[in-house]
Each structure stands twice: as C-alpha cells, then as structure tokens.
Amino acid sequence: PWNRILPVGDSSSNQSPLSFGGFGAMVRHLPRLHRGIHEALLYDALSQAALAQLHPYQPNLSVTWLFQRTMSVGVDQSLDPDAINRLMNAVFLAMEQLGDPVLKPFLQDVVQFGALSQTLSQMSVTYPNIVTRLIPQVGLPPLMDWMRHYLSLGVYSAACPAVKALQPLFHQLPPLGRYYGDRLIDALSYGSGADYRGHEAP
C-alpha cells in the first residue's frame, strides 16, 4: 500500500493464515515473489502501484471463502449437528472418485477451475440433497457474489496460456512494461492454479 514497502507472509493478508495454512501458502508463492521482487529492484518499479502487482487478485483464493462459509453456522442459524461432517465426507468422496488430478492439488492448497467444476458437478449428481440444503445456509446473494469469482477463475484459466504465449513480446517492451507484463502472467498463473507442479516427479 506504500511506495518502496512490500508486506510478505501474514502481514500481506495474501491468504488467511489459519483457514488454508499461511506458511504453506507463503512457500507456494515464494518463486513468484522472488521473481517479482528481483524485477521490481532491477527496473526500479517500487511505486505503490507497481508493488501492488505483487499482491494480485487471485480468483482461486476468493472462491475458497465458500468452503469456509459452508462449514460455519451463524449465531441466528440452527443446523443439523451432522450436516458439516456429512458435507465434508461428500466433498472428499467426490474428489477421491475423480482421482489424483482433482484431489491432490486441493490437498496442496491449489484450487483449479477444472477440478472445482468437476467436484461441484459430481456432488450435485451424487448428493443433490446436500447441495440444495447449502443454498439457504449460505444465502443467495453471497452465492451470486461467489459466482463472480468462479467465473473469473474460468476466465483466468482460459487466458493464462494465451497471455503466456505473449511473454516474448512483453520482453521487448521498456523495463516497466516488461515488469507489468510478467506480473500479469504471474497473476493469471497463480490465480488459476496453473503454477501447480505437484504431479511432476521431485
């Protein structure tokens, strides 16, 4: 939020430290931050606007609030005591049935459009009752707001390879343009979960 100052880790509010493992998230983002900080120093891109590119909007993070919301009960709400356990069982069973490409990224804190869409579809077909009970629990306006992030996740996933292909063009721009181009690629890649490399041999 200021020129020449970049919060990292918990202080950056990049990710909820408790809901999805703040340390794990920070480690996952280290290559992006390392690259970005290196270029920011190299190109003297240290204004508030330039450094804000290192904390981009990530739709795959924004969609996760729904998971937290479905596992919480408002003070004025009453819920079947087994409802949350049933939901967790259903979600993990659906992901297990869909296999490692769906389950593993999620367990490693990476939400991807394809895996999320498959899980939601599988759950709607296998457990329609659980899904319909969630709508009054979460509320329609928040669900519509969530849809916005879900659709952005789809757009980010589709745009990522196309914009990555433009990287050689970005590298012909003046330094600041190069910096913003690379940050756009990072934002699309991390914001769509395209940075995930868990399936590759270490």
Residues lying near ligand FAD in the complex (CB under 6 A) are found at 9-11, 17-18, 21-24
Closest separation in Å from C-beta 18 to ligand FAD = 6
Nearer to ligand FAD, 15 or 122 (CB): 15
How far is it, in rounded angstroms, from Cα 75 to Cα 73? 7
How far is it, in rounded angstroms, from Cα 129 to Cα 54? 41
Nearer to ligand FAD, 29 or 149 (CB): 29
One-letter amino acid for residue 168 of the chain: P
List C-alpha distances in Å: 98 to 89, 123, 179: 14, 11, 39
How far is it, in rounded angstroms, from Cα 110 to Cα 103? 10
Nearer to ligand FAD, 8 or 155 (CB): 8
Nearer to ligand FAD, 104 or 133 (CB): 104
Closest separation in Å from C-beta 30 to ligand FAD = 12
Closest separation in Å from C-beta 22 to ligand FAD = 2
Asked whether 133 and 83 are in contact (CB, 8 A), the reply is yes
Nearest to 155 by CA among 113, 110, 106: 113
Task: Identify any residues that bridge with 2 across adjacent strands, giving them in sequence order.
Answer: 5
Nearest to 91 by CA among 131, 64, 51: 131
Nearer to ligand FAD, 17 or 114 (CB): 17
Nearer to ligand FAD, 5 or 144 (CB): 5
Closest separation in Å from C-beta 194 to ligand FAD = 21
Asked whether 157 and 113 are in contact (CB, 8 A), the reply is yes
How far is it, in rounded angstroms, from Cα 169 to Cα 182? 11
Closest separation in Å from C-beta 26 to ligand FAD = 6
The secondary structure of residue 5, as a DSSP letter, is: B
Closest separation in Å from C-beta 58 to ligand FAD = 16
